[in-house]
Amino acid sequence: NSDDKNELRSPICCIMGHVDTGKTKLLDYIRGTNVQEGEACGITQQIGVTYFPAENIRERTRELKADAKLNVPGLLVIDTPGHESFTNLRSRGSGLCEIAILVVDIMHGLEPQTIESLNLLKMRNTDFIVALNKVDRLYGWKTCRNAPIAKAMKQQSKQVQMLFNDRLIQIITQFKEQGLNTELYYKNKDRGDTFNIVPTSAISGEGIPDILLLLVQWTQKTMIERLTFSKEVECTVLEVKVIEGHGTTIDVVLVNGVLHEGDQIVVCGLQGPIVTTIRSLLTPHPMKELRVKGTYLHHKEIKAAQGIKIIAQGLEHAIAGTSLYVVGPDDDLEDVKNKTMED
Ligand code: GTP
Ligand code: MG
Ligand code: NA
């Protein structure tokens, strides 16, 4: 029931960081997919969206034996490119999320687009968790597939633990130089002021349970108001795409509200507002990436938060990055059209 005041929507999490730190690979590991290897030159060039149902997160975090009481239906994760030429997409992605994962390569430390991402997060006051990725590349690392990171760390030799600590200290210092306190998450007693670091591997999965649990716990604990489901549609166009057999479609992120087949919508177009009717609402299967061709699920209606492909006529000149509006029974079409063009 969408009038339920206590109903929460899925939190939106954006993955950001310098090129090749392993953002897409981390998602591939969680999804059990191979999106990264299909990318041209291994470089992400679009925003990606994946929905993780709560059931899956519960399963993945079981070993941590935490109070994994999940009140949210799932988690919507947005993958962004790290290449320097995609600042606009990082900005768009970070503008949609309530929390971010900032991925840092443990072998490289903070890099130019790490700092750029940090500044975007600071600007919007967005909370984030640092994934200190590629721990498996520490010389002598012993693989502990899927293990919570504290458990994996205990399995390592003294040498590996020393190598890890040296790099961790360096990276904490680099964050300090950016004006931020950070600490290994299971040693972090001052969560208010100090951002958590979770060491991870996107190849063998150490630290993945920890990061999933932290994301869900932290958003549920601190963002209840923001995550309370609202009927007011909040929706952003990510991509305008021609799909064989469907014509021009738009990929959107529905942040709040419900979309229905047959809804009259208005989107911002190059030649003015586009008024059209939703013919089909499609999503990929849970745990699959919206930007990858595959089979789609058809829906009569979809509740936020979700990544959705919308099929409708006249979308050829729609502009990515702008808001989508639904014309409700009490709305004046001209008002909605004007609102659309304000973006
Ligand atoms: P962009 O989206 O292009 O910015 O890159 P990305 O951050 O998504 O990184 P991507 O997933 O493309 O990974 C870059 C390279 O690092 C690939 O060759 C991955 O196989 C490798 N890689 C990613 N994560 C890990 C990891 O945890 N360990 C190791 N050893 N390699 C990794
Ligand atoms: Mg990527
Ligand atoms: Na890459």
Give the residue-averaged pLDDT of 242-266: 95
Residue nearest to atom 26 of ligand 1 (CA): 134
15 lines ligand 1 (CB under 6 A): no
The answer to whether the Cα torsion of 238, 243, 245, 248 is positive or negative is positive
- Ligand number nearest CA of 200 is 1
In this structure, which amino acid lies at residue 39? E
Establish whether this prediction's ipTM goes over 0.90.
yes
- Residue of 14, 15, 20 to mutate, ligand 1, most atoms within 8 A of C-beta: 20
pLDDT given at position 67: 62
Say whether pLDDT at 275 is over 90. Answer: yes
Among residues 65, 76, 104, the alpha carbon closest in space to that of 216 is found at: 76
| C-alpha of residue 51 to centroid of ligand 3, in Å | 21
Say whether pLDDT at 2 is over 80. Answer: no
201 lines ligand 1 (CB under 6 A): yes
| C-alpha of residue 111 to centroid of ligand 3, in Å | 14
221 lines ligand 1 (CB under 6 A): no
Of the pLDDT bands very low, low, confident and very high (cuts 50, 70, 90), residue 1 is: very low
Average the pLDDT over each of 24-33, 85-94, 195-204, 215-224 and give the range with the smallest value.
215-224
Give the residue-averaged pLDDT of 255-275: 97
Of the pLDDT bands very low, low, confident and very high (cuts 50, 70, 90), residue 261 is: very high
Say whether pLDDT at 165 is over 70. Answer: yes
42 lines ligand 1 (CB under 6 A): yes
Question: Is the CB of residue 57 less than 8 Å from the CB of residue 75?
Answer: yes
Q: How many helices (H) and strands (E) does the chain have?
A: 9, 17
The fraction of the chain above a pLDDT of 70, given in percent, is 98
**Element (DSSP H or E) covering residue 334:** helix 333-340
Give the residue-averaged pLDDT of 228-234: 95
| C-alpha of residue 48 to centroid of ligand 3, in Å | 13
Measured CA to CA, the distance from residue 313 to residue 325 in angstroms comes to 16
pLDDT digits (tens, 9 = 90+) for 114-129: 999 999 999 999 999 9
pLDDT given at position 337: 96
Measured CA to CA, the distance from residue 190 to residue 181 in angstroms comes to 10
pLDDT given at position 190: 76
Measured CA to CA, the distance from residue 96 to residue 13 in angstroms comes to 8
Of the pLDDT bands very low, low, confident and very high (cuts 50, 70, 90), residue 343 is: confident
199 lines ligand 1 (CB under 6 A): no
Residues whose beta carbons lie less than 5 angstroms from ion ligand 3: 20, 42-43
Per-residue b or e along 181-208, where b marks 16 or more CB atoms closer than 10 Å to that residue's CB: ebbbbeeeeeeeebbbbbbbbbbbbbbb
Say whether pLDDT at 237 is over 60. Answer: yes
DSSP letter (8 states) at residue 322: S
Residue nearest to atom 28 of ligand 1 (CA): 134
The answer to whether the Cα torsion of 92, 95, 99, 103 is positive or negative is positive
Say whether pLDDT at 87 is over 70. Answer: yes
22 lines ligand 1 (CB under 6 A): yes
Which atom of ligand 1 lies nearest, measured to the CA of 44? Answer: 2
- Residue of 15, 23, 25 to mutate, ligand 1, most atoms within 8 A of C-beta: 25
Say whether pLDDT at 246 is over 90. Answer: no
pTM of the model: 0.96
Of the pLDDT bands very low, low, confident and very high (cuts 50, 70, 90), residue 245 is: confident
Q: How far is CA 237 from each of CA 308, 320, 334, rounded to the nearest angstrom?
A: 10, 5, 20
pLDDT given at position 68: 61
21 lines ligand 1 (CB under 6 A): yes
> Which of the pair, 260 or 341, is modelled with greater confidence?
260
Give the residue-averaged pLDDT of 320-342: 95
